[in-house]
């Protein structure tokens, strides 16, 4: 099912033909994101994501690009993370050649016209402002800034208004030309792949001129100093809200760690579903939250395990104590067989449902190939999930849930943080 080809210009092409679907997804990913940016270019990867849609030599106006994409009857967008950036089109398999041509045109022939660039600065800044007004989004940013101080991983992906306004076209193009080159691209096509269209796609991406002096750019390595003084593991941001917004977490596992199957099960038990422990205790039994869930964030060299919640602002301390008690219980007591079986069925069932979508397959392989140069299949991952034992989960809980390394970010109507320091 999985096929990998490397063109002479070093672009990697991954194809995953799927039966039983009329749709396909083409995704182009680059292993570059905000962690690769210098302070004066913080936000550049995200800004470039916007600019790729603002006109090409063939389609000089933004409306020309959007009309061409809409004419495919497609879903299309882009995303920027801290370690990767992706551009995708999902459409009928019959539209593959057209979708690929549009993506190729945007990625390698965008104009970055001065007037569009200056206009788009305002759009990006308003996007930044939108997230700033959303405490449930910003608490995640405050947490990563707390976890990764003085490191690019702790910076906001979108950058700041001050930095965005000062970015020049020359610097943005230099950044683009450094990373968005054929040698750094992974092209993934999943779904209904028609042979004639695939031939056209190969011609397009194989003939793109490679960068003449491309050097694989590294990133600043990060080490999480978990056991830091208590005062350095808490941030409280005052905001007049009706609800407290919490992000509580620990150093986790990096990408590619062999213990990720056990981490997937642990995460599902903690807060990955409506029958998870935190959902049951904090929401259903105690009525302290509407939203509560856990998550993992793996990067190439570090990772985090987090619990996110929107809490009753008058009972925040009670909620944090309840969360800690449930995490401590996973350290002290092995998970019972029925809960292990139920959790595995949930995780595997969710994966099978996702496998119905071509976009899932494209994203699955793109990130693996771009960041790890690996290609483990969903089926292989599910086999590993089935082998996870209660002992594996308990050992990982003991490793991760080290309360002397716990960090807390909190947004709400709190002007003092003394009451929360004692919870660390």
We report the CATH number of the domain holding residue 102 as: 3.30.830.10
* Number of domains into which the chain is organized: 2
Q: What are phi and psi of 133, to 5 degrees?
A: -80, -5
Numbers of helices and strands, H then E, in the chain = 16, 11
The verdict on residue 29 lying in a domain is yes
Q: What are phi and psi of 357, to 5 degrees?
A: -105, 130
Query: Domain check: are 280 and 194 in the same one?
Result: no
Q: Is the dihedral of CA 278, 282, 288, 289 positive or negative?
A: positive
Q: Say whether 49 is catalytic.
A: yes
- Asked if 249 and 308 touch (Cβ cutoff 8 Å), the reply is no
Res 352: pLDDT: 97
How far is 29 from 24, CA to CA, in rounded Å? 16
400 falls within a domain: yes
Query: Do 129 and 246 lie in a common domain?
Result: no
Length of the chain: 424
Q: What are phi and psi of 107, to 5 degrees?
A: -75, -30
CB-CB contact of 56 with 65 (8 Å): yes
Question: Are 259 and 161 contained in the same domain?
Answer: no
Burial class of 355 by CB neighbour count within 10 A (0 to 12, 13 to 18, 19+): middle
Average pLDDT, 10 consecutive residues per value, the chain (424 residues): 93 97 98 96 98 97 98 97 97 98 97 97 98 95 95 96 98 95 97 96 92 78 83 96 97 97 98 97 97 97 97 96 98 98 98 97 97 94 98 98 97 94 94
Residue 212 lies in a domain: no
Query: Is 392 within the bounds of a domain?
Result: yes
The token pair at 137 is 């989004």
CA distance 336 to 263: 17
DSSP 122-158: HHHHHHHHHHHT-HHHHHHHHHHHHHSTTSGGGS-TT
In this structure, the answer to whether residues 38 and 174 fall within a common structural domain is yes
For residue 162, give Cα distances in angstroms to 10, 45, 114, 167.
37, 16, 19, 9
Task: Work out the number of other CB atoms within 10 angstroms of the CB of residue 66.
Answer: 14
Same domain as 260, residue 169: no
For residue 225, is it within any domain?
Answer: no
Say if residues 285 and 342 touch (Cβ distance below 8 Å).
no
Task: Provide the edge-to-edge strand list for the sheet that holds 75-80.
Answer: 3-6, 12-17, 186-191, 23-30, 85-92, 75-80
Q: Are residues 287 and 200 in the same domain?
A: no
Residue 189 has φ and ψ, to the nearest 5°, of -125, 125
Same domain, 36 and 147: yes
Give the Cα separation of 274 and 291 in Å (integer): 10
Residue 93 counted as domain residue: yes
User: Would you say residue 201 lies in a domain?
Assistant: yes
Beta pairing partners, 30:
85
Do residues 253 and 142 share a domain?
no
Question: Residue 76's pLDDT is what?
Answer: 97
Name residues whose C-beta falls within 8 Å of residue 267's C-beta, 6 or more positions apart in sequence: 294, 295, 296, 305
Q: HSE of 84 in the Cβ direction (CA atoms, 13 Å)? A: 21
Residues 61, 192 within the same domain: yes
pLDDT of residue 157: 97
- Domain assignment present for 214: no
Closest-CA residue to 189 (of 176, 173, 175, 205): 205
Choosing from 37, 49, 120, 140, the catalytic residue is 49
E strands, 232-317, are 234-238, 244-251, 289-298, 303-311
Domain range for residue 382? 230-421
Shared domain for 201 and 160, answered yes or no, is yes
Could you tell me the CA-to-CA distances from 407 to 33, 229, 308, 329 in Å, in that order? 24, 11, 12, 19
Same domain, 142 and 43: yes
Question: Which residues, listed in sequence order, are joined to residue 85 by a DSSP beta bridge?
Answer: 30, 80
110 and 13 within one domain: yes
């Amino acid at each position: 099912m999985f096929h990998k080809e490397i063109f002479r210009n070093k672009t990697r092409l991954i194809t995953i033909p799927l039966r039983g679907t009329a749709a396909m997804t083409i995704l182009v990913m680059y292993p570059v994101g905000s962690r690769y940016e210098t302070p004066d270019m913080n936000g550049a990867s995200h800004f470039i994501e916007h600019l790729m849609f603002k006109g090409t030599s063939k389609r000089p106006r933004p409306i020309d690009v959007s009309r061409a994409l809409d004419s495919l009857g497609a879903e299309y967008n882009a995303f920027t993370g801290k370690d990767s950036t992706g551009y995708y089109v999902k459409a009928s398999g019959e539209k593959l050649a057209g979708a690929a041509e549009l993506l190729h045109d945007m990625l390698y022939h965008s104009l970055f016209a001065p007037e569009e660039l200056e206009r788009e600065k305002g759009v990006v800044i308003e996007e930044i402002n939108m997230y700033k007004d959303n405490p449930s989004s910003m608490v995640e940013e405050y947490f990563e800034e707390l976890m990764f101080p003085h490191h690019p991983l702790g910076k906001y992906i979108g950058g700041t208004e001050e930095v965005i306004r000062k970015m020049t076209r020359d610097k943005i193009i230099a950044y683009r030309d450094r990373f968005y080159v054929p040698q750094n691209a992974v092209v993934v096509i999943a779904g209904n792949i028609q042979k004639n269209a695939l031939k056209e796609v190969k011609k397009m991406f194989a003939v793109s001129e490679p960068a003449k002096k491309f050097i694989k750019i590294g990133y600043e390595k990060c080490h999480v100093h978990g056991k830091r003084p208590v005062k350095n593991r808490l941030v409280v941001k005052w905001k007049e809200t009706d609800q407290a917004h919490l992000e509580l977490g620990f150093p986790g596992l990096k990408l590619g760690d062999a213990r990720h199957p056990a981490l997937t099960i642990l995460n599902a038990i903690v807060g990955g579903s409506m029958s998870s422990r935190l959902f049951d205790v904090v929401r259903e039994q105690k009525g302290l939250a509407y939203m509560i869930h856990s998550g993992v964030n793996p990067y190439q060299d570090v990772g985090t395990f987090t619990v996110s919640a929107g809490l009753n602002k008058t009972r925040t301390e009670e909620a944090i104590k309840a969360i800690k008690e449930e995490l401590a219980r996973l350290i002290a007591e092995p998970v019972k067989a029925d809960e292990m079986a139920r959790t595995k069925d949930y995780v595997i069932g969710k994966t099978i449902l996702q496998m119905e979508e071509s976009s899932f397959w494209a994203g699955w392989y793109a990130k693996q190939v771009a960041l790890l140069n690996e290609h483990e299949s969903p089926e292989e991952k599910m086999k590993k999930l089935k082998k996870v034992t209660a002992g594996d989960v308990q050992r990982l809980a003991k490793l991760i849930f080290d309360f002397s390394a716990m960090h807390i970010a909190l947004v709400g109507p709190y002007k003092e943080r003394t009451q929360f320091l004692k919870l660390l």
